[in-house]
Structure 1
Amino acid sequence: MTEIPKHVGVVGGGRMGAGIAQVFAALGSTVVIAEAGDQAAARDRVRTGLTRAHERGQLGTEEPADVLARVRTVGAPAELPADLDLVVEAVPEIPSLKVDVLSSVEKTVDASTVIASNTSSISIAELGAALNDPSRFIGMHFFNPVPASSLVEIVRVPNTAAAVVDKVRGWVSLLGKREVLVNDSPGFATSRLGVCLGLEAIRMLEEGVADAESIDRAMELGYRHPMGPLRSTDLVGLDVRLAIAEHLASTLGDRFTPPELLRDKVARGEFGRKSGQGFYNWEEASR
């Protein structure tokens, strides 16, 4: 039987990193977040998430403050403790940045530490090539918002040790989530399909086929999607979706070329829910 990871590191304290830290802390792990920017903001994101989970009765008998006491922050991957069972890299989808982070992590932690990337599109083999021991490296693609999502996409390459795959599958199960196990490929299974649908929805909006609400409602009612592709893009972040689309276009071909509407919105700073405006006006919705 898989035991919970006693000590977990998360590199990146943004929305995804804070969510990953939250679910492991709620499981009972002690968590260290390495955040090069605002460490207090990273911890506040975890605090806010725990408060919401408590309000929904999802923390059991523990108070948010008790769980938060298991979370601390440092400024850089090199400041992580060595005796971590797992480190999850959750920095932006910039290959060179991820390679630098993963290299620093490997130099810092024990040889037994499992190192994972939360990348949603970049090849695990490409990232793992920066490591001296790629056998302990694996993809753990969590979904936004992490505490509420039931899925983790586990991405393996031929170099990934079978014992590492088994251990990560066990941890995902302990988190109360379900896994899909996929072999390494650009965009894996989820981003490849999700981005394809999202880009086509944006093209339809660009061409005037229908408005955003109608396109989303068609998929929600006709195909039982819990959320339409344009609202989902707002939640993920238009800037994030653009970066993934550009990467997939460079590796898989022109069918993933981002529509000009997406580029224009990102250029205007319309990133979706996090900026208040995307394909929907989130500022009005929050009033």
Structure 2
Amino acid sequence: MITHVGVVGAGTMGVGVSQAFAARGFRTTLVDTSDETLDRARAAIVRDRRFAGMLGSASPCAPQEVMERLSFTTKLEGLADAGFVVENVTENMEIKRDLYRALEDVLPGECVIGANTSAIPITRLGSFTRRADRVIGTHFMNPAHLKPLVEVIRALHTSERTLRTTLELLRAIGKDSAVVEDSPGFVTNRVLMLTLNEAICLLDEGVAAAEEIDRLFVRCFGHAMGPLATADLIGLDTVLYSLEVLLREFNDPKYRPSTLLRRYVDGGLLGRKSGRGFFTYDT
């Protein structure tokens, strides 16, 4: 029975994933490389839980209980007794490879690694370990603690036991699952990244303003937010990395990132997390 869950990477996704587990009674350890990043994550989780309390969230425990179940560390050794680890680090193959090899020396033998990647094939991530049968894709949507469904990716070597363990764990935190086979970008991001990129191209070409592009998708198609606001929420750097992975994996020019997207990322305009992307946000 899994009682301790690790979350590696304390960015936007790590903040959401860690509180999703802690709010459902799991002892949860959030790991990142710097205390500064962990301090920001802690503050973000406190803010989220207070906000949820104000809205009368259906979370089965009080905000203080959530924080008591969470621990924050820069040491992977904090995961030495974890039964499941969700990996959320940046979409960089070299960084992920080094992390998976380091986790190999720390995690218990039966521990499952859930890769929360945007586009990198899960089979390739599994090849960085000696436990490819215990590596599976767990693609949480942002914000991870609120979105009800997780895209679960079965890699080439993922065992039925690993799949069953993952689905049971997600059910335990109130998440539904959609199981798909391994392919770059999976289902969601293979479609979504094309949409976001094309919307950015339209903006760059002057076909319409950002507000009008998004309003068309919200008002005409019933989307909760438009593609440019969605890109800002995901993080423009993550969108760029994802498109680069898709372009490299499929060798298809339809995935070529917009010049405007590259310019925004080069200029540090990353969306909500930087305070400005296609729209401006309070930080």
Rounded to whole Å, the distance in 2 between the matches of 1:169 and 1:60 is: 20
Deviation at 1:199, TM superposition (A): 0.6
Deviation at 1:151, TM superposition (A): 2.0
Rounded to whole Å, the distance in 1 between the matches of 2:181 and 2:59 is: 35
Deviation at 1:61, TM superposition (A): 5.8
User: Sequence identity, in percent?
Assistant: 37
In structure 1, what is the equivalent of residue 66 of structure 2? 67
Give the residue type in structure 1 aligned to 2:45: V
In structure 2, what is the equivalent of residue 204 of structure 1? 202
Residue range with higher mean Cα deviation, 43-52 or 123-132:
43-52
Asked if structure 2 preserves the Cα contact closer than 8 Å seen for 1:26 and 1:59, the reply is no
In structure 2, what is the equivalent of residue 107 of structure 1? 105
In structure 2, what is the equivalent of residue 267 of structure 1? 266
Alignment of 1:32 with 2:29, yes or no, is yes
Deviation at 1:84, TM superposition (A): 1.2
1:237-258 per-residue CA deviation (whole Å, 9 max, x = no partner) reads: 1111111111111112110101
1:182-232 per-residue CA deviation (whole Å, 9 max, x = no partner) reads: 111111111111101001111111112111111111112222211110110
In structure 1, what is the equivalent of residue 141 of structure 2? 143
Deviation at 1:60, TM superposition (A): 4.3
1:46-96 per-residue CA deviation (whole Å, 9 max, x = no partner) reads: 22222222222225463211211111122132x124221101111111111
Instruction: Tell me the SS of whatever aligns to 1:69.
Output: helix
Asked if structure 2 preserves the Cα contact closer than 8 Å seen for 1:35 and 1:42, the reply is no
* Equivalent residues in 2 for 1:11-160, closer than 5 Å: 11-38=8-35, 39-58=38-57, 60=59, 62-77=61-76, 79-160=77-158
Instruction: Tell me the SS of whatever aligns to 2:108.
Output: coil
Instruction: Tell me the SS of whatever aligns to 2:273.
Output: coil
Rounded to whole Å, the distance in 2 between the matches of 1:61 and 1:251 is: 42
Deviation at 1:171, TM superposition (A): 1.7
Instruction: Tell me the SS of whatever aligns to 2:105.
Output: helix
TM-score, normalised via structure 2 length = 0.94
In structure 2, what is the equivalent of residue 213 of structure 1? 211
Residue range with higher mean Cα deviation, 52-61 or 185-194:
52-61
In structure 2, what is the equivalent of residue 195 of structure 1? 193
1:165-187 per-residue CA deviation (whole Å, 9 max, x = no partner) reads: 11111222222222111111111
TM-score, normalised via structure 1 length = 0.93
Q: Which runs of 4+ in 1 moved over 6 A?
A: none
Rounded to whole Å, the distance in 2 between the matches of 1:81 and 1:275 is: 30
Instruction: Tell me the SS of whatever aligns to 1:103.
Output: helix
1:119-162 per-residue CA deviation (whole Å, 9 max, x = no partner) reads: 11101011110111210110111111111212211011121010
Instruction: Tell me the SS of whatever aligns to 2:216.
Output: helix
Instruction: Tell me the SS of whatever aligns to 1:108.
Output: coil
In structure 2, what is the equivalent of residue 226 of structure 1? 224
Asked if structure 2 preserves the Cα contact closer than 8 Å seen for 1:269 and 1:275, the reply is yes
Asked if structure 2 preserves the Cα contact closer than 8 Å seen for 1:43 and 1:72, the reply is no
Rounded to whole Å, the distance in 2 between the matches of 1:234 and 1:263 is: 14
Rounded to whole Å, the distance in 2 between the matches of 1:66 and 1:142 is: 23
Give the number of aligned pairs: 280
In structure 2, what is the equivalent of residue 255 of structure 1? 254
Instruction: Tell me the SS of whatever aligns to 1:144.
Output: coil
Structure 1 unaligned segments of length 5 or more: list them: none
Rounded to whole Å, the distance in 1 between the matches of 2:257 and 2:265 is: 11
Inter-CA distance 275–40: structure 2 relative to 1 (3 Å threshold): closer
Rounded to whole Å, the distance in 2 between the matches of 1:280 and 1:249 is: 26
Give the residue type in structure 2 aligned to 1:114: V
What is the root-mean-square deviation in Å for CA atoms of aligned residues?
1.5
Residue range with higher mean Cα deviation, 50-59 or 11-20:
50-59
Rounded to whole Å, the distance in 2 between the matches of 1:61 and 1:112 is: 28
Asked if structure 2 preserves the Cα contact closer than 8 Å seen for 1:25 and 1:67, the reply is yes
